């Protein structure tokens, strides 16, 4: 059962110690996930500026790579005038992002409400390029997750877990023994009121440290959960699907099988513009990794326009290692 809360309760010292001392097994991970309330809740916040959305809206989906620069991130989105923003990899209480609630700051700057959920509880400060941004030697909360931002209040929301075995915790999955993470890939789904009736929007993030079969299984879990959460409703899914992040790597999204599954379930991938969506960043300086990871798909909607917004700001500073994909849709 997913709780909707104004504030997510922090991980206790006892729970943190359990994470550090527990055997690195899927069963131990599932027990800890059940015990930590923040892993089974959605934080609702922000301030909506409209009561309903029009029947044509602009949706942006962006993996903001921790969201190092919340104010600049919001300013970068403003020319798109988005009605809905789907964010992934947003920090909350992490030293590398100044312990800020980055989703809350972006939502406030854009005049939006938000639903935020935790993908991972992280104990560590991250890799060397992330530690460069840390002024503290510990995380205040250690949360990293996904969010849905909207100009209107949410009718309802939920968190959809796409795995529970501890892909970044258990030894069976090859997790880093020095940096245990509690959690796993997930999605935030929200129902929004519009002039044409309710719609469902979903911000998701699929696994990077796996192959196409693993992501296919995650995507099927996601589609089944959406059907249960918003039966018969127009749906738009956006996010970093990590398409092409194969093991061993070949960076070719065309090898993925989740596209066919989406089409068979009534989703149209034509809401995503052509072109790659990754670039070197301040955290991920890898110019050889050029991939198409980010997508928008929808059912029972029409695409009026679409594009890719570069993550380079006016000074050519990369705000993230992903560009933002966007679409103008009607329903």
pLDDT at 182: 96
DSSP type of residue 92: E
Residue ranges of the chain whose pLDDT lies below 50: none
Fold of 3-330: Deoxyribonuclease I; Chain A (3.60.10)
Contact between 145 and 102 (Cβ < 8 Å):
no
**pTM passes above 0.95:** yes
Give CA–CA dist 282/279, Å, rounded. Answer: 10
Q: Which of 168, 190, 186, 164 is nearest to 177 (CA)?
A: 168
pLDDT at 200: 98
User: 198 burial class (0-12, 13-18, 19+ CB within 10 angstroms)?
Assistant: middle
Give helix 26-35 / helix 13-21 axis angle, nearest 10°.
180
Q: How many residues does this entry show for the chain?
A: 331
Task: Kindly calculate the radius of gyration of the chain based on its CA atoms and give it in whole angstroms.
Answer: 18
Give CA–CA dist 233/326, Å, rounded. Answer: 21
pLDDT at 170: 84
Q: Which of 129, 114, 210, 98 is nearest to 162 (CA)?
A: 210
Give CA–CA dist 243/239, Å, rounded. Answer: 11
By percentage, how much of the chain surpasses pLDDT 70? Answer: 98
Note if the bond before 270 is cis, omega within 30 degrees.
no
Q: Which of 181, 149, 186 is nearest to 168 (CA)?
A: 181
Take residue 284 and report the two structure tokens written for it: 């991920």
pLDDT at 286: 81
Q: In this structure, are strands 84-92 and 56-66 parallel, antiparallel, or unpaired?
A: parallel
Task: Report the mean per-residue pLDDT for the chain.
Answer: 95
Give CA–CA dist 170/23, Å, rounded. Answer: 8
Cβ neighbours of residue 183 under 8 Å, at least 6 residues apart? 33, 39, 118, 119, 120, 121, 168
Give CA–CA dist 92/143, Å, rounded. Answer: 5
Q: Which of 239, 331, 228 is nearest to 293 (CA)?
A: 239
Give CA–CA dist 269/27, Å, rounded. Answer: 36
Take residue 216 and report the two structure tokens written for it: 């296919």
Cβ neighbours of residue 197 under 8 Å, at least 6 residues apart? 234
pLDDT at 178: 65
């Amino acid at each position: 059962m997913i709780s909707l809360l104004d504030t997510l309760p922090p991980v206790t010292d006892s729970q943190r110690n359990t994470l550090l001392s527990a055997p690195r097994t899927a069963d131990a991970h599932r027990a800890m996930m059940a015990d930590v309330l923040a892993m089974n809740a959605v934080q609702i916040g922000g301030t909506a500026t409209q009561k309903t959305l029009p029947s044509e809206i602009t949706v942006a989906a962006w993996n903001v790579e921790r969201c190092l620069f919340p104010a600049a991130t919001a300013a970068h989105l403003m020319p798109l005038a988005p009605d809905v923003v789907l964010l992934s990899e947003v920090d909350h209480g992490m030293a590398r992002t100044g312990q800020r609630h980055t989703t809350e700051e972006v939502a406030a700057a854009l005049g939006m409400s938000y639903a935020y959920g935790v993908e991972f509880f992280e104990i560590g400060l991250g890799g060397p390029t992330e530690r460069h941004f840390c002024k503290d030697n510990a995380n205040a909360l250690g949360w990293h997750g996904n969010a849905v931002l909207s100009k209107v209040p949410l009718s309802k929301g939920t968190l959809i877990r796409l795995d529970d075995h501890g892909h970044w915790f258990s030894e069976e999955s090859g997790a880093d023994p020095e940096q245990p993470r509690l959690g796993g890939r997930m999605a935030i789904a929200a129902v929004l009121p519009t002039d044409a009736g309710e719609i469902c929007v979903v911000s998701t993030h699929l696994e990077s440290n796996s192959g196409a079969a693993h992501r296919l299984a995650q995507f099927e879990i996601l589609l089944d959960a959406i059907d249960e959460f918003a039966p018969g409703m127009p749906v738009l899914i956006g996010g970093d699907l990590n398409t092409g992040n194969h093991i061993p790597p070949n960076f070719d999204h065309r090898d993925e099988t989740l596209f066919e599954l989406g089409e068979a379930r009534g989703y149209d991938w034509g809401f995503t513009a052509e072109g790659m969506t990754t670039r070197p960043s301040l955290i991920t300086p890898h110019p050889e990794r050029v991939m198409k990871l980010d997508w928008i798909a929808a059912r029972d909607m029409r695409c009026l326009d679409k594009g890719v917004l570069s993550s380079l700001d006016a000074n050519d500073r990369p705000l993230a290692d992903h560009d933002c994909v966007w679409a103008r849709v009607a329903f």
